[in-house]
Amino acid sequence: MGHVIGALERLDTLETKLGKFATEIGPAALQALGYNNKAEFVHKKLYVLRSYP
Count CA atoms within 13 Å of residue 39 on its CB side: 0
Are 12 and 21 contacting, i.e. CB atoms less than 8 angstroms apart?
A: no
Residue 11: what pLDDT?
81
Domain ranges of the chain: 6-50
pLDDT digits (tens, 9 = 90+) for 4-49: 555 566 788 889 999 999 999 999 999 999 999 999 999 999 998 8
Nearest-Å Rg of the Cα atoms of the chain is: 12
The angle formed by the CA atoms of residues 48, 18 and 14, to the nearest 5 degrees, is 70
Please tell me the pTM assigned to this model. 0.77
